[in-house]
Chains A and B, each alone.
Chain A
Amino acid sequence: MKVTKRQTSNVKRQEVYLDHAATTPVDGRVIKAMMPFFDTCYGNPSSLHAPGQKAHKAVTDARNSIAGLLNAHVDEMVFCSGGTESDNLAILGTVNMSKAELKRMYGKNAVPHVVTSAIEHPAVLEPLLKLEYRGEIELTQIKPGANGVVAAEDVFKAIKSNTVLVTIMLANNEIGTIQPIAEIGKLILKHRKVNGSIYPYFHTDACQAAGYLDLNVEKLHVDLLTLNGGKIYGPKGVGLLFVRRKTRIEPQVYGGGQERRLRSGTENVPGIAGLATALDIAQAKREKESERIAKLRDRLIKGLLKIEKSRLNGDAKNRLPNNVNVSFMDIEGEAAMLYLDAKGVYCSTGSACASTSLDPSHVILALGMSYEAAHGSMRLTLGKSTTKKDVDYVVTIMPGIVRRLREISPVSLDMKQF
């Protein structure tokens, strides 16, 4: 045992940031693109004078650029404060707008129905649960398979006559599994056509997918799509909701009527310029970078699964190229995360202790895994800066950390329970 200890302490300390799903550093080119809009070109885009119009042009350029990347129209871009606001606008906007239409069609007791998955981000689940709690919607949560992928057929079967919205993420933020959005989109289109209905709208949260997956809204067949800056080497505090033409949603923020009245408030010009630049860079290098990073991901997964009583959460192949999520039995994720932190490795965990609630990750539990597995789950998400050396460093130090925590743990569960 002493030998092992010495070996571990001999490993040279490295700083390895493996929490890119939480947020990314801002790309230097993005910062450069943003800078003019803080001091030199500081006008309010709503002002008709020259400085205002300069700022207005910057926002229009960003709108054009992003619309091009999404294969969408310029008038389908709604800028807002981030992924959470974008999700909220899609959900609350659709539900509130649909109420009158539903009442007209099905009588005054009609309640909108929403279909979602059990593994959505809290920015989607929480507003939906709130609406359900208030009796304002009927909610169906589709369980994914044990591999963390929702079946398109299950989503389709859940659609009812009063379903106004289907919202399923493009890729999961905890386990990185990719959902069959294009397939679901096609089924929804067919349903609408057959029933001659404008509903249900189809929304997808693509925050985690940007930079790795195709965001072409025509191929995805979505009406609403959420993006943000902080996950794609862009600034935090800026987001986007793609709203397809003829998709009617109610604004949630009222004021000066910016963003085609859908989101009032003076535009965050530097943020919007930064988001457009970041998305441009991310999507340009998408395929090459995905290939590079998937190799590192698989190397990390292989290395970590050599530790006994461990398992990968979520499908091994059908997942984002940068996502690793493993559970180590008999230890608690926050403790492991902090031991890694002390060794310069920064990641996150699905343990209850790391969350503000008392519950462990709803995503890991939705896979049909035990509470124990959820408490011991660790998420390591790779990024642009990640190298083979980083991955090997983590693979070298992790066994010692798991061993140490197992030494002080009174729990030793059977893998069958895992």
Chain B
Amino acid sequence: MNNKKGQKKIDIAPAKNGGSGFYSDVVKEHFFKPKNFMEDESGYKADGQGMVGSPACGDVMRVWIQVDDKSRRIKDLKWKTFGCASAIAATSMMSEMVTEKGGMTLEEARALRPQDITERLHGLPVRKIHCSVLGDKALRAAINDYYRKQGETDKVEVEAGRVIDKVLKITDQDIEEAVLDGAVTLEDVQRKTKVGTGDPSCIPEVEQLIRFYREKYFGAE
């Protein structure tokens, strides 16, 4: 894994991102000219689809995929996003990453992480990281949906992690990743994952997990 201590941090907007400060040019390009978004659902035959988030939380992402049955590569990916510039740009970038160069295999696509998308976007402002974390989740939900439709239920991976936030479908793994990414407090973790904003009842458990992972990776404080 490349998110151990001392690795370069990719989740901070670079100082020089070409012009008017807040967002990188790549983010702006994808935000103003989103690639592969779903224009007409009715005429689209999807092999799998997934949706995560809720409008109350401020982000909803929906993903449709077409899969080549033989190669198990994603031929096409369409999406829709309710959210801010980061959320829209991140889903747009994800759609490119998944479908470029003949398309990712389902297993490659499954391994795609929010950090990979952020890196290709030339970084996001720190407080915007949380806006970009739902795209890959929606993608994994679509991949599961595909396997289910194929009757290959053994390949359906209910995120190996345990769901902590039932509303946003955030797992203990997400908390672990956030901690690995440098989150120290609950606020830090929320900034990255939004955990608990839809269902505050999970917050005590989240706090416990943060302590657990902090100790595991960074030693007792």
Contact = CB atoms under 8 A, between A and B. Distances in A.
Nearest to A360: B58
B85 A409 contact: no
Contact of A334 (B32, B37, B38, B85): B85
Contacts of A413: 55
Nearest to A372: B55
Nearest to B56: A371
Contacts of A334: 84-85
Contacts of B32: 339, 342
A358 B191 CA distance: 7
Contact of A370 (B37, B56, B59, B87): B56
Interface string B48-60: 0001000111111
Among A330, A351, A408, residue most surrounded by chain B Cβ atoms (within 10 Å): A408
Given A351-B58, A358-B130, A338 B85 contact: yes
Contacts of A353: 58, 83-87, 128, 131
Given A353-B131, A375-B58, A410-B62, A335 B83 contact: yes
A105 interface: no
Interface in A366-418: 370-372, 375, 407-411, 413
Interface string B11-55: 000000000000000000001101001110000000000010001
Given A353-B128, A353-B131, A407 B83 contact: no
B99 interface: no
A48 B57 CA distance: 60
Interface string A48-82: 00000000000000000000000000000000000
Interface residues of B, number: 32
Given A335-B88, A356-B127, A410 B58 contact: no
Given A338-B31, A353-B128, A371 B62 contact: no
Interface in A334-356: 334-335, 338-339, 342, 351-354, 356
Interface residues of A, number: 27
Given A356-B127, A410-B51, A335 B58 contact: no
Given A352-B58, A358-B197, A407 B39 contact: yes
B61 interface: yes
A351 B34 contact: no
Contacts of A333: 84
Interface string B69-84: 0000000000011111
Contacts of B127: 356
Contact of B58 (A332, A339, A407, A408): A332
Contact of A409 (B31, B58, B80, B190): B80
A403 to B, nearest CB: 13
Contacts of A155: none
Contact of A332 (B34, B62, B84, B190): B84
A413 B56 CA distance: 11
B194 interface: yes
Given A358-B194, A408-B34, A410-B82, A372 B60 contact: no
A162 to B, nearest CB: 31
Contact of B84 (A330, A354, A356, A372): A354
A360 B197 CA distance: 11
Contacts of B38: 408
A188 interface: no
B166 to A, nearest CB: 17
A331 interface: yes
Contacts of A330: 55, 82
B82 A411 contact: yes
Interface in B98-139: 127-128, 130-131
A335 B31 contact: yes
Nearest to A334: B84
B55 A375 contact: yes
B83 to A, nearest CB: 5
A411 B85 contact: no
A334 B58 CA distance: 10
Interface in B128-185: 128, 130-131
Contacts of B130: 358
A408 B80 contact: yes
A342 B27 CA distance: 14
B128 A410 contact: no
Contacts of A352: 58
Contacts of B191: 358
Nearest to A354: B84
Contacts of A356: 127
Contacts of B88: 335, 408
Nearest to A417: B55
22 contacts: A332-B83, A332-B87, A334-B84, A335-B85, A338-B31, A352-B58, A353-B84, A353-B85, A353-B86, A353-B131, A354-B84, A356-B127, A358-B130, A370-B56, A371-B56, A371-B57, A375-B58, A408-B88, A410-B51, A410-B81, A411-B60, A411-B82
Interface of A: 330-335, 338-339, 342, 351-354, 356, 358-360, 370-372, 375, 407-411, 413
Interface of B: 31-32, 34, 37-39, 51, 55-62, 80-88, 127-128, 130-131, 190-191, 194, 197
The 3 closest A-B pairs by CB, nearest first: A353-B84, A410-B80, A334-B84
